[in-house]
A and B are shown apart, each in its own frame.
Chain A
């Protein structure tokens, strides 16, 4: 059944009063990446209910990793079957696209999630609590911070193993997000991955008030942006009479057929389109952390447990940019001349805003948060290129960036003092003298963030700027390079601080992590260097994946 037939079924249903509703056709094989993760998440909830407390951690960790690996295998299998290129397809009655960008981004999200799960499962950093090894998450999140019940939970050595199913739910939502091919699926996917993230943000073991504050802020502002998004969807539906991407694109192009008479009057009202489009755009820009919708980022990144921050900063960004790409390239390409100038403005203030405000940050997590805002600007520069090169460069950048980010936040978890992680920059002074290896690894990440050649950051930045410049956005690239120069200042400043300052006597210690975090950090460095030194294979891969299905 082709896409248009599906749409005509939907859109003419009301008019023709079709008596029989045909059973929806679900291509289980093509949806298997999502289904595997969702299934594992549900199973994870059951494990929480039925497996004894002692065995939960290992069972959950094992299940999560197996599910993510299986899902990744399914993505690879689909790509190998040609779903990324020649056989791209819209599955599940027009709801989910199975094409190159979707598969590439799903693969990236899954790999990043595997690494993130490693950091979630780390139990070697916090000092043992009453003889039990504990992770970064609260003993009993429901207890009031500082209360007796919290103390009791800590004494009993409770741990929150629910983080694994929560993360899996979030991953499932993220997998759907860049593949969503109608606005409702988009919205549902957004909520599916946002709600677990709100919860995860609130689960920090240390500095619980800060963590809860972050979660509440994230939830409030997330709901606020969801409301905009939903209203935008409603307006777009009013414009096109459909929530399907293909249908809306056809109405925009004026090539639409089979218009039902009931909708003909309201259809094609440009005001609805422009306002609705802008609102949906805003919802997605909120998730990627673009200025002026970025203000939640520093607070949430700082308050959330650091492994969750890494996971959010990497996987959420990948998913949100995927959805943004699909929206701009599939639904609104006909409106290019309307959204491009506006997006220019957003890109410029995002790049400059993130880079400039980062200069005066004193907390390493907040610094990385602003850095992620600046990077969102760089990626957006590739997004608005509007060319095939633009798509592939963004895909590559996202893959490169996500591993650097998770690795960098993983390093942040290692540097600790009596109060937990020592995130104030002044405490990082002289780290290179005390722990040269950790400092060197962090320096590699910072250089990658700064876009120094031979790191993945350079390859990615070069690709997006090249795509942007070739699409006629030369001025934007100039601003981008200036922003990069400003950003380089604060990255290099941290390196200088680590290697050329005297260590403080009461400075933090570097905890020796278990193989889990070590793997996460090592994978990050490896990917950073491989994508920096020999990026061609992966650029080609992203290039092949750079065509959307319509």
Chain B
């Protein structure tokens, strides 16, 4: 059975290779091939999953060793896969949601002449993400990590003819590099500390390492997670990444990429459990990001950017939960899976709306779309209810658990975190209701596009609506299914461990409080965007709104501190290079050249000179030999 693991990765990888190298001949069928291979990977995942369910809880981990990648004395890097419950969860999410997004893209990218290439990149994205979650050591994980970075770069910048898309791709890549540095430093630290970077040995040896070392490793892993998962302070790429085609946004936000950071922290639970200081930083980062993303989401008029803010905020929930330690790991992953369903559904819904509205993204120019796009409205609406945590839907179960876990952390810390997560839930309800109202309700505020064509909203083709329907079903039922009888808890507990903590409040009270903030959030949104009319031109807004529209000044901060500072640093380094380094180098070269010119004059062509040189040489040789004996 373990031999199937490599096939899991191989299917999309072969797809990527064939589609990217195959040339125009594949243009007509390439998208089907890509979708088919993604689906094949999903089927293999399901087979492995059913096999795994057939075995007892502590016997579920599978290993497959393919070959030794870099076998050097004392340094062993293997291409080896590990499939346990955690990886399995990710595999199903990645391949399942990934396949749906492939299917959706067939319709969405129908008129794009580079559709084959797009599917090649999508397959590459899946393959890289699968390597990331299936690796049994940090170095192979790093390979997948970089692969995800590359694929995201290619996809975000897919419409490279738009300068904004090219810039966004570059930005995502560069910001991610900062995180990647963190991961590579973490791996090096692991190697110097433990002499290995394979999961098993590292986690077994955490007890022997000093807490300082573990904290350093943990912080570096967190830096990596911040890059990929768009957490403060490396969050700035996520909003711009919306320049990519909408299916890419769905893929990045739901199934791949941003979930990688959560996976990394959960996978490294042994390291974090032994480094409380690092855990504290993780929690702080999660809490800050969850508010940051939520506030940004409130102010955006671009539907995709509003959803992007929401993603940032929801990932913040997950990171926070993961930072709580054994209390939260399971719920972080559970929220990740349910979020995968509803966020993918929301993005595909947004794409469907844009598809019908001449690619307009400004929600102020939508309005009243519910009758024109009934399927999109219903599926988007179910996703909306799920994300705000409407009772009975997916988000309700998973987010509620995180809030409970935050309180269960105990002490002042627990109260603060609980309050932050509660506040986040309220803001989530507000901004998502805002998106819903501005898009599907109210009067029509449609505007002709740049070419002067008035939009004719229509329902999207079957290939786009089917994935949306499937995802909506997941958004509705996944949470309940996972929570009934603590199914998900028992499933994942053998890998991540679990601890109930000691909650200062009963679950009922917390749920009640969540409901209250939920209602408040929805009500405020309804007052502002449902009852009052929405102006087409955005109002000036308060200082906070204006700041939030500019992503809370993240780019201004980066520009002033990092870009300007970096420019000054490079300028002085260039100056040093020109004067000091070049001076030394050129000086050396010139002096050797001069020496050469003088020495070659000795070679004057006369045999007598040569003979003298030989004679002199021999004399020196003899004299030196005798001298050596004398001393």
- Measuring CB to CB, which residues of chain A are less than 8 angstroms from any residue of chain B? 216-217, 220-221, 224-225, 228, 270-271, 274-275, 277-279, 281-282, 286, 291-293, 295-296, 298-299, 337-339, 341-342, 345-346, 353, 356-361, 486, 489
A507 to B370, CA, bound (A): 77
Set of chain A residues within 8 Å of B609, measured between Cβ atoms: 295
Known: A278-B625, A338-B629, A360-B596. 16 other contacts (CB 8 A): A217-B610, A228-B618, A274-B622, A274-B629, A278-B618, A278-B622, A282-B614, A282-B621, A292-B614, A292-B616, A293-B613, A295-B610, A295-B614, A342-B625, A356-B595, A486-B592
A270 to B626, CA, bound (A): 9
A295 to B599, CA, bound (A): 12
A221 to B589, CA, bound (A): 33
One digit per residue, 1 when the CB lies within 8 angstroms of any chain A CB and 0 when it does not, for chain B 605-631 equals 101011101101110111011101100
Given contacts A292-B617, A359-B596, contact A224 B611 (CB under 8 A): yes
Q: Is the CB of A357 within 8 A of B603?
A: yes
A486 to B613, CA, bound (A): 24
Contacts of B572-595 to chain A: CB distance below 8 A: 589, 592-593, 595
A125 CB to closest chain B CB, in angstroms? 28
Of all chain A residues, the one with the shortest Cβ separation from B621 is A278
A270 to B592, CA, bound (A): 41
User: B600 in the interface, Cβ–Cβ < 8 Å?
Assistant: yes
Given contacts A286-B614, A295-B609, A296-B610, contact A337 B628 (CB under 8 A): yes
A207 CB to closest chain B CB, in angstroms? 15
8 Å CB contact of B610 from A221, A275, A341, A342: A221
A271 to B589, CA, bound (A): 44
B209 CB to closest chain A CB, in angstroms? 35
Q: Is the CB of A279 within 8 A of B607?
A: no
Q: Is the CB of A295 within 8 A of B628?
A: no
User: B538 in the interface, Cβ–Cβ < 8 Å?
Assistant: no
Given contacts A279-B618, A282-B618, A295-B613, contact A342 B624 (CB under 8 A): yes
A512 to B5, CA, bound (A): 55
A348 to B609, CA, bound (A): 22
A220 to B607, CA, bound (A): 8
Give the residue among A270, A296, A356 with the most B Cβ atoms within 10 A: A356
A356 to B611, CA, bound (A): 22
Q: Is the CB of B625 within 8 A of A357?
A: no
A216 to B608, CA, bound (A): 12
A172 to B616, CA, bound (A): 32
B202 CB to closest chain A CB, in angstroms? 32
A236 CB to closest chain B CB, in angstroms? 13
Given contacts A341-B628, A342-B628, contact A282 B617 (CB under 8 A): yes
8 Å CB contact of A217 from B589, B597, B607, B618: B607
Set of chain B residues within 8 Å of A359, measured between Cβ atoms: 592-593, 596
A345 to B620, CA, bound (A): 10
Set of chain A residues within 8 Å of B622, measured between Cβ atoms: 274-275, 278-279
B617 CB to closest chain A CB, in angstroms? 4
Q: Is the CB of A357 within 8 A of B596?
A: yes
Q: Is the CB of B614 within 8 A of A293?
A: yes
Q: Is the CB of B589 within 8 A of A489?
A: yes
Question: Using a Cβ–Cβ cut-off of 8 Å, how many residues does chain B contribute to the interface with A?
Answer: 28
Of all chain A residues, the one with the shortest Cβ separation from B595 is A356
Set of chain A residues within 8 Å of B605, measured between Cβ atoms: 299
Set of chain B residues within 8 Å of A228, measured between Cβ atoms: 614, 618
A357 to B599, CA, bound (A): 6
Q: Is the CB of A356 within 8 A of B607?
A: no
Of all chain B residues, the one with the shortest Cβ separation from A228 is B618
Q: Is the CB of B599 within 8 A of A356?
A: yes
Set of chain B residues within 8 Å of A217, measured between Cβ atoms: 607, 610
Set of chain B residues within 8 Å of A286, measured between Cβ atoms: 614
A357 to B616, CA, bound (A): 20
Q: Is the CB of B617 within 8 A of A270?
A: no
A358 to B624, CA, bound (A): 28
Of all chain A residues, the one with the shortest Cβ separation from B626 is A274
Q: Is the CB of A293 within 8 A of B596?
A: no
Given contacts A359-B593, A489-B589, contact A225 B614 (CB under 8 A): yes
A341 to B592, CA, bound (A): 25
Set of chain A residues within 8 Å of B602, measured between Cβ atoms: 295
Set of chain A residues within 8 Å of B610, measured between Cβ atoms: 217, 221, 295-296
Set of chain B residues within 8 Å of A337, measured between Cβ atoms: 628
Set of chain B residues within 8 Å of A345, measured between Cβ atoms: 624
A338 to B592, CA, bound (A): 32
Set of chain B residues within 8 Å of A357, measured between Cβ atoms: 596, 599-600, 603
8 Å CB contact of B625 from A291, A296, A338, A489: A338
A289 to B595, CA, bound (A): 21
A279 to B629, CA, bound (A): 16
Q: Is the CB of A356 within 8 A of B618?
A: no
A489 to B585, CA, bound (A): 12
A203 CB to closest chain B CB, in angstroms? 20
A221 to B610, CA, bound (A): 8
Query: Can you report 30 A-B residue pairs in the complex whose CB atoms are below 8 A from each other?
Result: A221-B607, A221-B610, A221-B614, A228-B614, A228-B618, A274-B629, A275-B626, A277-B625, A278-B622, A279-B622, A282-B614, A286-B614, A292-B614, A292-B620, A293-B613, A293-B617, A295-B603, A295-B610, A295-B613, A295-B614, A296-B610, A299-B603, A341-B628, A342-B624, A345-B624, A353-B599, A357-B600, A360-B593, A360-B596, A360-B600
A295 to B602, CA, bound (A): 9
Set of chain A residues within 8 Å of B629, measured between Cβ atoms: 270, 274, 338
A360 to B601, CA, bound (A): 11
8 Å CB contact of A298 from B589, B603, B607, B617: B603
A316 CB to closest chain B CB, in angstroms? 17
A246 to B530, CA, bound (A): 108
A337 to B624, CA, bound (A): 12
A361 CB to closest chain B CB, in angstroms? 8
A274 CB to closest chain B CB, in angstroms? 5
A180 to B497, CA, bound (A): 77
A211 CB to closest chain B CB, in angstroms? 15
Set of chain A residues within 8 Å of B616, measured between Cβ atoms: 292
A390 to B614, CA, bound (A): 27
A334 CB to closest chain B CB, in angstroms? 13
Q: Is the CB of A220 within 8 A of B592?
A: no
A403 to B629, CA, bound (A): 40
B613 CB to closest chain A CB, in angstroms? 5
A359 to B597, CA, bound (A): 8
Set of chain A residues within 8 Å of B614, measured between Cβ atoms: 221, 224-225, 228, 282, 286, 292-293, 295
A489 to B592, CA, bound (A): 11
B616 CB to closest chain A CB, in angstroms? 7
A-B complex: 4 closest residue pairs judged by Cβ atoms: A292-B617, A295-B610, A359-B596, A360-B596
A339 to B31, CA, bound (A): 75
Given contacts A221-B610, A341-B624, contact A356 B603 (CB under 8 A): no
Give the residue among B589, B600, B602, B609 with the most A Cβ atoms within 10 A: B600
A353 to B595, CA, bound (A): 10
Set of chain B residues within 8 Å of A486, measured between Cβ atoms: 592
Set of chain B residues within 8 Å of A282, measured between Cβ atoms: 614, 617-618, 621
A346 CB to closest chain B CB, in angstroms? 8
Give the residue among B599, B611, B617, B618 with the most A Cβ atoms within 10 A: B618
Set of chain B residues within 8 Å of A338, measured between Cβ atoms: 625, 628-629
A14 CB to closest chain B CB, in angstroms? 30
Give the residue among A225, A342, A358 with the most B Cβ atoms within 10 A: A342
A229 CB to closest chain B CB, in angstroms? 10
Set of chain B residues within 8 Å of A296, measured between Cβ atoms: 610
Set of chain A residues within 8 Å of B625, measured between Cβ atoms: 274-275, 277-278, 338-339, 342
A224 to B614, CA, bound (A): 9
A272 CB to closest chain B CB, in angstroms? 12
B591 CB to closest chain A CB, in angstroms? 10
Of all chain B residues, the one with the shortest Cβ separation from A345 is B624
Set of chain B residues within 8 Å of A224, measured between Cβ atoms: 611, 614
Set of chain A residues within 8 Å of B613, measured between Cβ atoms: 292-293, 295
B581 CB to closest chain A CB, in angstroms? 15
A433 CB to closest chain B CB, in angstroms? 27
